[in-house]
Structure 1
C-alpha cells in the first residue's frame, strides 16, 4: 500500500495530467453538469435494489459507491470528504426520485440523465476544448473527473491552495496566431 505522501504525489501527478485536457472554463462547467447528471443517472436504478448489511438495509448504489469513494479518500482525504458530502446529496436525490416514480419513468429519467451527462462531456471537449476527452488516452481519468471538479470548487472557496498551481489556467501566448 502506498504511503500517504506517495498517494498525494500520485494524485497531484494525475491531476496535472488531467488538467491538460480541461483548460477551458466552459469545458470545466460542462464537466460539473455532466458529472452530476452521470452520477445521479448511474445510481438511480441501483437505489431500488436493497438488502441488509449488518442489520441495516442499504441500497446497491451505496455498496457499489464505497470502493470508488475509498479510492478518492486515499488519493486525497479532504477532496474525498467533499465528494462524500456531494455523493450523499446525489444518492438522496436519486433515492427520492426512484421512490416517487414508476419503473418506466425511472428508466426514462435514467436515459435522459445519462444522455445529457454524456452530451455535456462531449460538447465540453469538442466545442470548448477542441480536443478529445482525456479518457480516450487515459481510461483511469474516468475516476478523476469528480476529484478535479471538487478540487476546483475547494480552490474557488479559498481552500487547497496547494492544488491551485496545478489547476491554474495555462499561460496564454500573446504571439500565437489562431
Structure 2
C-alpha cells in the first residue's frame, strides 16, 4: 500500500471546504472573503504612522507582507496570486486615499467590513455550519487562499 503525502495547504483546504459545502454559502464567500481582506488592508492602511496621517500604508504593507509570507510558505504559486491581490488592494487604497481622502477610505472600509461579515454569517446560517475560524483563528487567513485556489482551479492552474 502506497502512502500519499498531503501538503499542509491541502489539509487546511479540506477542513475549510468541509465547513463550506453549500453552493450559496460558497458563492457568498467568493465575494465576501476578498471584500473582507481588502477592507482589513484598508483599515490598517488608515492607521497613522509616526504620529501623522501623511504617511499612510506602512502598517498595511507590513501586514500584507506578513500574510503573504504565510501564503508563500504554504504554496509558492498561491503566494504569487495572493501577492498580486495584495498589490491590487494597496493600489485601490492609495487611489481612494488620493481621490477621496483618508476619511472616505476609512468609512468605506468599515462599511465593506461590516456588510461582508454579515453576508458571511448569513451564508453560514443558511448552511447550518459554524465558520471555520471559530475552531482555529488560522482559518481567517485560509479563507482568502481558499478563494484564490478556487480561482486557480477554474483557470486550470495548479497551486
TM over 0.5: yes
1: distance between equivalents of 2:12 and 2:103? 40
* TM-score normalised per structure 2: 0.83
Contact 2:36 2:112 in 1 (8 A): yes
How big is each residue's C-alpha offset from its partner over 1:121-146, in whole Å with a ceiling of 9 and x where there is no partner? 1112112x221111112222111001
Select the structure that is richer in strand: 1
Out of 141, 144, 148, the residue aligned to residue 143 of structure 1 is: 141
Name the Cα RMSD after superposition.
Answer: 2.2
Out of 5, 13, 37, the residue aligned to residue 15 of structure 1 is: 13
In the alignment, is residue 114 of structure 1 matched against residue 116 of structure 2? Answer: no
How big is each residue's C-alpha offset from its partner over 1:150-176, in whole Å with a ceiling of 9 and x where there is no partner? 11111111122xx7xxxxxxxxxxxxx
2: distance between equivalents of 1:50 and 1:98? 15
Stretches of structure 2 that go unaligned for 5 or more consecutive residues are 51-55
Could you say what secondary structure the match of 1:44 adopts?
helix
Stretches of structure 1 that go unaligned for 5 or more consecutive residues are 1-5, 52-56, 164-178
Contact 1:38 1:114 in 2 (8 A): yes
Matched positions, count: 149
* TM-score normalised per structure 1: 0.74
Structure (1 or 2) with the larger CA radius of gyration: 1
Give the aligned partner of residue 78 of structure 2: 79
2: distance between equivalents of 1:103 and 1:151? 32
In the alignment, is residue 155 of structure 1 matched against residue 153 of structure 2? Answer: yes
Could you say what secondary structure the match of 1:144 adopts?
helix
Give the aligned partner of residue 36 of structure 1: 34
The alpha carbon displacement at 1:80 in A equals: 1.2
Give the aligned partner of residue 167 of structure 1: none
The answer to which of 100-109 and 25-34 deviates more is 100-109
Contact 2:93 2:105 in 1 (8 A): no
Could you say what secondary structure the match of 1:22 adopts?
coil
1: distance between equivalents of 2:134 and 2:43? 27
